[in-house]
Structures are given as structure tokens and as C-alpha cells.
């Protein structure tokens, strides 16, 4: 059976999924798993398509010190115990830079170019690339595909792509990229099945999770969004501030004496819901808290979602639907209800019962704008891109003695 392995590596976790390739290019998830707790308490956990447990193992800290070692653990388990020998591996890579508007076959040159964007996605890019390097070194003939979170947004018009800075900086790559593209692409491709008339129109998608952003879709294409040069921009996130006056950064350097590296760590790790509340970066903990600062942090989050919805509606010159996705968007009925209140001026009205049931359509029949909850499947999106390159003949399909 031909399979495709999908890898999504982060700072302390390597997520993986295996898809079987079936007739007419269909993909079916066979298993999903993760090696997490890297640097603290490493564990391998995996389950089959029905949720049945396949593995749950703990390892000494020194045995799995980093992402590459985590990938080695996962690969050895897949290869030696499940006899899985994928025909290709698809990787989520957060930043593709200005040159990549689609998925690409990986070689050493591609990796070298992608390393240049590490400073623009420091929490993800180095970890995305670590398993790629490891597999390239051990199995150089095994096809690997990089699927970019920035690629989906490269269709935007020049006015949405630029900052008001000298063009030479734009030419160097200082521009508004946008992120979470694999999630938005999944929504864009799923909506025609859910609501075909709406899918061809003007849609705002709110990807609300520990990392949060919003995207304006017109005819299924990205035309504007909340994130820009880096994933720091736009909505407040778990530990990132979202939109912030550049003067604040200058103040931290000139008045607080912070070095560039300290400002970097501060913005990426100590702001957002965590910094605002002083309690947690987890929306679930904030919603459960009676602390006034937790309530204000939630108020701020909801307010900024509503504010940015207005901006995106203006970019679209109207609105035909609103979609919630990602962890908070899919699971928090209270946040959805509060965001809907912010959108009442657009004619949005929720059906409270459907919202609490986490139904797909949660707006009432009286709502001028339908509101949906759609689960995103970035893993399957990556597998599809990888298979598409295989089927187009852009990847060789050798069999190898092992997979990772």
C-alpha cells in the first residue's frame, strides 16, 4: 500500500500523520501521532483512524533532546514496527518567502533558501527544517515536499502586499506575507461542498487558536489578512501581541535598554493573552478564571477580532459569510457568541442552541450573514499537495528501505 507521511514539527513537538493513497488519488488517514515533551518528558503517542491507541511510550530526556531526535523516534516506530514505507513526505513549513507561491520538492538548495526566513518565523522555521535536514542526510532519495503557510496568500494585489516603505526593502522581501495559509486553503476548498453559492463570494475566515489570524477570501482566493511580514501582526495570540505601534519597539530599545534579542523574545514569548492577563496563554484557563485581568484579556481578544472583521469586510467591499476555525474557533461557543455580538452591525445573529451544539451552521434564519464553524485539516492539505506533485510527475517515486 502506498502511503504519504505528513510532518508538522514545532518547538517541543513533532506531529505526524500517515495517509494511504487509494483509487483516483484519494487519501485516507491511517494514523496520527506526536512525539512531544521534547526537553522535558518525551513521549510517543499515536492512534488509528477510529481513535484506537497504537502507542504511548515515554523516553528519558537525554534520549530525545530535540526535534530531529523526535523525528527519528517516530520514524523508527513507523518503519520497524508498522512496516510503513512512504512514497513521499510532506512537511508544513511556515515561511516560504517571496519566491514560493506553491508547494515545492525539497533539496539542499531549497533548505538553504528557507533558512533565510528563520528570523521571520523563529518559533517555527528552524523546527520545521530540522526533520527535513535529518531525512535529507539519511535518505537523500526519498522525496520530501515543503508546503508553505505563506503560499496561499501570494495571490494578493500589490496594494495588499506592500508596506509604505522604500521599494528597495520590498525587493529584499520586506512585505506582507500572511500565514496560516494551509488552514485557509482547506476552508476555501471545503466551502464549495458546504455552501457552494457562498464559496464563490466574499468570506471572512477567523483562524482562532493559540496563534490567531483572519483572512478575507474572494472567490476562494486570499485578498487580505491580519498577519504581515511575520506572524506577530494582527490579532493578539497566546504569547504574541498582535498589532502594535512600531514606536513601542523603539521605546523598548531606547528607553528600557532592551537589546534586539530581548525585544525579540519579549514579543514572541511574553505578550499576547499571557502578557495581558498575567495568568495564562490558554483561552480555556482565562475563560475559567474569575480574575479581572483574565476577563479584560478576553474582552481585548474579542474586540480585536471584531475590529479586524470590519477591516476585512471593507477590503471585500461587503460580506457574504463568516467562518470560524482552529482550536478556539471550533471549540469555544462563548467566544463565538461574543464575536458574533461584535458583528451585529453587519446583520449577524447566532442561533444560540446551534452554537452551543457546535453545529456547522450556527447563525439563525434571521441573520443577514451566515456563520459557519468548519474544522480545518492542514495535514490532509499537505498530503494532497504532496500527492499532486507525485501525480504530476514532478517527484520520482522510488522505494526505500526506510522512511525517516
What 3-state DSSP class applies to 147? strand
Task: Give the pLDDT score at 401.
Answer: 39
pLDDT > 50? residue 124: yes
Task: Give the pLDDT score at 396.
Answer: 55
Give the 3-state secondary structure of 27-93.
Answer: EEEEEEEEEECCCCCCEEEEECCCCCEEEEEECCHHHCCCHHHHHHHHHHHHHHHCCCCCCEEEEEE
Answer positive or negative: Cα dihedral of 207, 213, 216, 221.
Answer: negative
- Catalytic-role residue among 8, 36, 149, 161: 149
Between CA 81 and CA 251 the distance in angstroms is 55
Task: Give the pLDDT score at 175.
Answer: 94
pLDDT > 80? residue 394: no
Q: Is 351 a catalytic residue?
A: no
Task: Give the pLDDT score at 402.
Answer: 40
Q: Assign domain 3-148+379-391 one CATH number from 3.30.420.40, 3.30.230.10, 3.40.50.720, 1.10.3720.10.
A: 3.30.420.40
**Burial level of 167, CB count in 10 A (0-12/13-18/19+)?**
exposed
Across the chain, which distance is largest between two alpha carbons, in Å? 63
Residues 6+ apart with CB under 8 A from 98: 154, 173, 175, 177
Domain layout of the chain by residue ranges: 3-148+379-391, 195-373
Q: How confident is the model over 181-228, as pLDDT tens digits? A: 999 999 999 999 999 989 999 999 999 999 999 999 999 999 999 999
pLDDT > 80? residue 361: yes
pLDDT > 90? residue 265: yes
Q: How confident is the model over 62-79, as pLDDT tens digits? A: 888 888 888 889 999 999
Instruction: Return the closest-CA partner of residue 322 out of 313, 314, 334, 333.
Output: 313
pLDDT > 80? residue 398: no
Q: Assign domain 195-373 one CATH number from 3.90.1200.10, 3.40.718.10, 3.40.50.1240, 3.30.420.40.
A: 3.30.420.40
Least confident of 55-59, 185-189, 205-209, 399-403: 399-403
Amino acid at each position: 500500500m502506498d502511503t504519504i507521511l505528513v510532518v508538522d514539527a514545532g518547538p517541543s513537538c513533532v506531529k505526524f500523520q500517515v495517509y494511504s493513497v487509494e483509487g483516483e488519488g484519494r487519501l485516507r488517514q491511517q494514523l496520527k501521532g506526536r512525539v512531544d515533551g521534547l526537553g522535558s518528558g518525551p513521549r510517543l503517542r499515536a492512534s488509528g483512524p477510529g481513535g484506537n491507541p497504537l502507542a504511548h511510550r515515554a523516553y528519558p530526556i537525554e534520549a530525545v533532546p530535540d526535534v530531529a531526535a523526535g523525528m527519528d523516534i517516530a520514524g523508527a516506530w513507523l518503519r520497524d514496527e508498522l512496516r510503513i514505507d512512504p512514497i513521499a513526505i510532506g512537511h508544513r513549513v511556515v515561511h516560504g518567502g517571496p519566491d514560493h507561491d506553491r508547494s515545492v520538492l525539497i533539496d539542499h538548495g531549497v533548505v538553504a533558501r528557507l533558512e533565510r526566513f528563520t528570523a521571520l518565523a523563529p518559533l517555527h522555521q528552524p523546527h520545521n527544517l530540522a526533520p527535513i535536514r535529518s531525512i535529507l542526510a539519511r535518505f537523500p532519495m526519498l522525496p520530501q515536499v515543503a508546503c508553505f503557510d505563506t503560499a496561499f496568500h501570494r495571490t494578493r494585489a500589490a496594494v495588499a502586499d506592500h508596506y509604505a516603505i522604500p521599494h528597495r526593502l520590498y525587493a529584499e522581501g520586506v512585505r506582507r506575507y500572511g500565514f496560516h495559509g494551509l488552514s485557509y486553503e482547506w476552508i476555501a476548498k471545503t466551502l464549495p461542498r458546504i455552501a457552494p453559492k457562498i464559496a464563490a463570494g466574499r468570506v471572512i475566515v477567523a483562524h482562532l487558536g493559540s496563534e490567531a489570524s483572519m483572512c478575507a477570501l474572494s472567490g476562494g482566493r486570499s485578498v487580505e489578512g491580519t498577519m504581515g511580514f511575520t506572524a506577530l501582526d494582527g490579532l493578539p495570540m497566546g504569547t504574541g501581541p498582535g498589532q502594535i505601534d512600531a514606536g513601542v519597539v523603539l521605546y523598548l530599545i531606547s528607553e528600557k535598554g532592551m537589546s534586539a534579542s530581548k525585544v525579540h523574545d519579549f514579543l514572541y514569548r511574553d505578550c499576547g493573552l499571557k502578557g495581558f492577563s498575567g495568568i495564562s496563554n490558554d483561552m480555556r484557563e482565562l475563560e475559567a478564571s474569575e480574575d479581572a485581568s483574565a476577563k479584560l484579556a478576553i474582552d481585548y481578544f474579542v474586540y480585536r477580532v471584531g475590529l479586524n472583521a470590519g477591516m476585512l469586510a471593507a477590503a471585500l467591499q461587503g460580506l457574504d459569510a463568516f467562518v470560524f476555525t482552529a482550536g478556539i474557533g471550533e471549540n469555544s461557543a462563548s467566544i463565538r457568541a461574543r464575536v458574533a455580538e461584535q458583528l451585529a452591525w453587519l446583520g449577524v445573529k447566532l442561533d444560540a442552541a446551534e452554537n452551543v451544539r457546535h453545529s456547522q451552521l450556527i447563525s439563525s434564519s434571521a441573520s443577514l450573514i451566515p456563520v459557519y464553524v468548519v474544522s480545518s485539516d492542514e495535514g490532509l492539505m499537505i498530503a494532497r499537495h504532496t500527492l499532486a506533485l507525485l501525480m504530476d510527475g514532478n517527484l520520482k517515486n522510488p522505494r526505500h528501505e526506510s522512511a525517516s
